[in-house]
Structure 1
Amino acid sequence: MWLLIIVLLNIVPGFDKTTVLNTFATPEECQTERNRIGFEMAAAYPYDRDFVIACQLNPKHSS
C-alpha cells in the first residue's frame, strides 16, 4: 500500500509535520495523484515552497 503524504518543511503549531492525504494500491496510482495535487498547489500558491507532496510505501505493508 502506498501513502500520498504532505510534509511541512516549517513547523506550524497545531499541525503534524507529515499528514497522509490518501492511500493507493500501486506506486503509479499514487504518482498520478501526487502530480495532480502538486501542480494544483503550485498554481494556487506559486511563492510557497514550504511543503512537499510525496508517495511513500507504507512501512506496515512493505513486505
Structure 2
Amino acid sequence: MRLMAAKNIYFIPYGQDDPEKKPTSMVARMEMLPETVEAAINGYQVQPVIIERFRDFS
C-alpha cells in the first residue's frame, strides 16, 4: 500500500482472478495498459484501481 500513496507510481487496474480457489491472488487487466500509460503520462491514475476481474466494462 505504500506504493499506492507514492508520487509518480501508477497501476494498471487489477482484481482477483479466482476468488474461490485463490482468495489472495490479484491479476492486472492488461488490456487496460495503453489507457493506463496515457493517463500516467498526463499525471493521473486510471480509476478504479481495484476492479472486478472478469466484469465486462464495455
Give TM-score, length-normalised by structure 2. 0.28
Give TM-score, length-normalised by structure 1. 0.27
Structure 1 or 2: larger helix share? 1
Q: Which fold has the larger relative contact order, with Cα–Cα distance below 8 Å and residues 6 or more apart in sequence?
A: 1
Structure 1 or 2: larger strand share? 1
